[in-house]
A = this chain, B = another copy of it.
Amino acid sequence: MSNHFGYKIRQLREHNNLLLRQVAPFIDIDTPLLSKIERGERVLKKEQIPLLAKILKIDEDELTTLWLADQMYNVIDGEPLANEAIKQLTKNIKK
């Protein structure tokens, strides 16, 4: 599974000197679940991005972008045609 998102929020949490148990309740999930999200084992709910961005002091759009990119990555992960597919996607989107 892709995990740029999880890696990023772990970095941010550590830079902000926050513990899992401090962040998790803030976004209304339990600690183990946040741990799994950071390690890419689970997916953060899209609706939770704003709160998370707030406590981690990162721009919400930037976090959303990372989240979206990871979701797309999951689609093409391991696909030999991944690059072709992105090219195609870019083409499709310009319409």
Residues in A lying within 8 Å of B, measured CB to CB: 2, 4, 61, 64-66, 68-73, 75-76, 79, 81-86, 88-90, 92-93
Contacts and interface: CB of A to CB of B under 8 A. Distances in A.
Contacts of A65: 81, 84-85, 88
Copies in the complex: 2
Label chain A's interface by main secondary structure.
Answer: helix
15 contacts: A4-B92, A61-B84, A65-B84, A65-B85, A65-B88, A68-B75, A68-B79, A68-B81, A69-B88, A71-B75, A72-B76, A72-B85, A75-B75, A82-B93, A86-B89
Contact of A93 (B86, B88, B90): B86
Contacts of A68: 75-76, 79, 81-82, 84-85, 88
